[in-house]
Amino acid sequence: MKIPNTRKDTNFLLKKSGIALTVKVGGIITQYLFVFTVARLLGPGVLGSFTLSFTVLQLLSILGLLGLDNLLTRKVAAAKAGNRPDEIKKAFQTALKITTFSSLLLSALLYFTSDLIAVQLFGKPQLAQHLRMMCFALAPFVIINIHASAFRGMKNMIGFTLFRAIIPLLNVLFILISWYASLSISPAMGYLFSSLIVLFFYVIAWRRFSADPTETLLPESSGSWKEMVNESLPMMITGSIFFILNWIDNLVIGIYRTEAEVGIYDTAFKIAAISAVVLMAMNAIQGPTFAEFHSKNDLSKLRRSIYTSTRLLFYATLPFTLLIIVFPELILSLFGDEFISAGTALIILTIGNFFSTITGSVGILLQMTGHQRQYNIIILITAITSITMNILLVPEFGITERPSPLQQPK
């Protein structure tokens, strides 16, 4: 088979995904800076408590978004390709109204059930205060994601990814101020303050970036709400299942093990994610690109884009994978001696991320081309397998090995 000439596509992907990759790398660095700061100043226990409360926040944010973030990206990309600015504004306004309402409801639910979740689910009463703080950050987090998805549809990769770098950095500043000024600002409280600040600037940025920021809200019918929600719900199911795949290990460790083990494992998980950062950057640009080619029924360019991106992913992620596999304990020791015990887990996670990355942007491809239901079936089977294995193995083996006398399950 003749290999297509992909130089033009490669240059485009390198340029666009390069911007996203730069911001993603910045985000990864600030996340590691956050983990390093909390681990060194407050210890793995506090880091684990934040991780569990943030996991709950992310789960509820998926329900609050209702899949409208991915749908908004697709609609904005298609409308931009067809030069239909009114459709961009209408899709954005509808998605924003729906998710604001749903996220506020979920925030209230989390506030009144925080004690129940902390005690009955995790068996950690001290976790309740972190959950209550996170409930106030839920709505800002959801609204930020809606704005970011709109930027993504417009192929503005800085607008799409920047908040992931800024929020951890601001949180680090709040934690440092709290530490040296002897204040009582927890990581969860710092996350709330950081989210509010970032949300303020995102609202201003989108109004200036949109074609006509002075235009009044477009009239909407109840049909437009129902139409978008019906179309987005399969994407929400996908997001929920994907969340389970990424976070079920933290949840199960949090239920059966200590906060310290959650913090140690999550640190290894974040380090292993370095090998997948190129995929995340590639997905950022490939999402709207796939949606645009699909809306134009240009299958030739769609195939060529898939081929080019998959080849780039292999060569870009191999060096990161080899580096982590060769020096796992040295890398973990930077966060503290307690984290070295996750060396085996780091190697396993890194290898898994590598094989996931080199298969390409398959999930984004299916969702952006209207095949989200088929994708749901695939990842649902994977999620069921992951849940089953975590529940069976974590209570017995902990992160990667049998528990020592100092790390018995609760």
pLDDT digits (tens, 9 = 90+) for 255-299: 888 888 999 998 898 888 876 777 766 666 666 777 777 777 777
Q: How far is CA 179 from CA 130, 186, 366, in A?
A: 18, 10, 46
Range of weakest confidence among 125-134, 142-151, 356-365: 356-365
What's the confidence (pLDDT) of residue 144?
A: 95
* Residue 154, pLDDT above cutoff 50: yes
What are the structure tokens assigned to 144, written together?
């930020």
pLDDT in tens, 345-361: 999 999 988 888 888 77
CA neighbours within 13 Å on the CB side: how many for 215?
17
Task: Tell me the DSSP string of 120-150.
Answer: IISS-GGGHHHHHHHHHHHHHHHHHHHHHHH
pLDDT of residue 403: 39
Give CA–CA dist 319/329, Å, rounded. 17
Best-predicted range by mean pLDDT (79-83, 125-129, 157-161)? 125-129
- pLDDT of 29 over the 70 cut: yes
Q: Name the range with the highest mean pLDDT among 84-93, 94-103, 237-246.
A: 94-103
For the chain, give every domain's residue range. 7-397
What is the per-residue pLDDT for 409? 36
Residue 362 CA to residue 290 CA, distance in Å, equals 11
Q: What is the mean pLDDT of residues 21-47?
A: 84
Q: What's the pLDDT score for residue 129?
A: 92
Positive or negative, the Cα torsion across 127, 133, 139, 141? negative
Give the chain's length: 410
Handedness of CA 336, 337, 341, 347 (dihedral sign): positive
Rounded to whole angstroms, the Cα distance separating 59 from 87 reads 29
Least-confidence region, from 166-170, 269-273, 304-308:
304-308
pLDDT score for 15: 55
Amino acid 188: pLDDT: 94
Mean pLDDT of all residues in the chain?
82
Least confident piece of the model among 134-138, 206-210, 242-246, 324-328: 242-246
CA neighbor of 262 nearest in space, from 48, 37, 47, 46: 48
For position 23, what pLDDT does the model report?
A: 67
